[in-house]
Chains A and B, each alone.
Chain A
């Protein structure tokens, strides 16, 4: 159960792993910058009062969904191999969320 990149030479393997890790860190850094940008756009869209709320609400919800995808796939490594069950659990939760929000905002009245 050693490393997948077993070249038989520990030094070579280590250098390879370090490079892979650094590359992943770079991707995560890009994801972070994009997440900050999405947040700024969302706050700006709400701060700019000329936009109708029929535009702003779906727009910021979309930005939130994109940002959460970055968080899940890059920061929480769901883009890596071996995350089939994690994806199933999370999407199962999301399905329940959609059902609950739909039910509570349309079917039930208070």
Chain B
């Protein structure tokens, strides 16, 4: 199939993200990138686990973490993962408007998550938990902050795709782009599942 061919719901392929050679390459290359991202976050998690009790007189995990904020953030991000599933569902059905709508909702939920995280970090700084306070603080901010910057990047990425393709509609040139962006968004949620478990919940258990 030609990349820029004008398609209809009838002629749109079942797996639009891999219908062209470019799409196939993008798909494979992006998963390789996600494997690399796994290693990046693995090293940050390992560092955090090694240093989490070295508080150097500053606040400890148990003193800092508040369950309600973490719970809210988790629900927002988890729901945004589902809304991007809806977006891809509509992409496969060749419904560009609904895909844009659901990606829009995903971006809003993601922005809510980011807002909560910024609020949380400012609270911590007020309580004397700064980047250079202790080894615990440094490894905490590096791990959770790297995740947060991934969320920010993902939001900008999806938003850029939505705006760039607003008038173009859906074709086999941009379907892989949307698909890969949604994979990235799910991966951010995968990392968050481990962050809320390993950092926050295990931190509150003590």
- Interface residues, chain A, with chain B CB atoms under 8 Å away: 1-5, 10-11, 13-14, 17-18, 20-21, 24-25, 28-29, 32, 35-36, 39, 42-43, 46-47, 53, 56-57, 60-61, 63-64, 67-68, 71-72, 75-76, 82, 85-86, 89-90, 92-94, 96-97, 100-101, 103-105, 108, 110
Q: Which of A1, A2, A4, A46 contacts B204 (CB 8 A)?
A: A46
Interface of A is mostly: helix
Rounded to whole angstroms, the CA-CA distance of A87 and B38 in the bound complex is: 12
Chain B interface extent, by class: 35 or more
Q: Can you name the residue of chain B whose Cβ is closest to the Cβ of A101?
A: B46
Chosen A-B contacts, 5 in total, with CB atoms closer than 8 Å, are A25-B85, A35-B78, A47-B67, A68-B193, A89-B38
With A85-B31, A93-B35 given, is the CB distance from A76 to B186 under 8 Å? yes
Pick the interface stretch among B7-15, B115-123, B124-132, B155-163: B7-15
Q: Can you name the residue of chain A whose Cβ is closest to the Cβ of B191?
A: A68
B103 interfacial by beta-carbon distance below 8 Å:
no
Q: Which of A1, A47, A86 contacts B1 (CB 8 A)?
A: A1
Q: Are A75 and B186 in contact (CB under 8 A)?
A: yes
Q: CB-CB < 8 A to A72: which residues of B? A: 186, 190
B36 interfacial by beta-carbon distance below 8 Å:
yes
Q: CB-CB < 8 A to A42: which residues of B? A: 196-197, 201
Q: Are B205 and A1 in contact (CB under 8 A)?
A: no
With A28-B82, A110-B51 given, is the CB distance from A100 to B89 under 8 Å? no
Q: Are B89 and A21 in contact (CB under 8 A)?
A: yes
Q: Are A97 and B39 in contact (CB under 8 A)?
A: yes
Q: CB-CB < 8 A to B18: which residues of A? A: 82
Rounded to whole angstroms, the CA-CA distance of A3 and B14 in the bound complex is: 6
Q: Can you name the residue of chain A whose Cβ is closest to the Cβ of B194?
A: A64
Rounded to whole angstroms, the CA-CA distance of A8 and B198 in the bound complex is: 53
Q: CB-CB < 8 A to B135: which residues of A? A: 110
Rounded to whole angstroms, the CA-CA distance of A108 and B198 in the bound complex is: 19
Q: Are B46 and A103 in contact (CB under 8 A)?
A: yes
Leading 6 A-B pairs by shortest Cβ distance: A93-B38, A89-B35, A97-B42, A86-B31, A104-B46, A100-B46
Q: Can you name the residue of chain A whose Cβ is closest to the Cβ of B189?
A: A71
Q: Can you name the residue of chain A whose Cβ is closest to the Cβ of B71?
A: A43
Q: Closest Cβ of chain B: how far from A57's Cβ, in Å?
A: 6
B183 interfacial by beta-carbon distance below 8 Å:
yes
Q: Can you name the residue of chain A whose Cβ is closest to the Cβ of B86?
A: A25
Q: CB-CB < 8 A to A17: which residues of B? A: 14, 92-93
Q: Are B42 and A93 in contact (CB under 8 A)?
A: yes
Q: CB-CB < 8 A to A47: which residues of B? A: 67
Q: Which of B13, B32, B41, B43 contacts A89 (CB 8 A)?
A: B32
With A1-B19, A72-B190 given, is the CB distance from A57 to B93 under 8 Å? no
Q: Closest Cβ of chain A: how far from B28's Cβ, in Å?
A: 6
Rounded to whole angstroms, the CA-CA distance of A24 and B198 in the bound complex is: 31
Q: Are A71 and B42 in contact (CB under 8 A)?
A: no
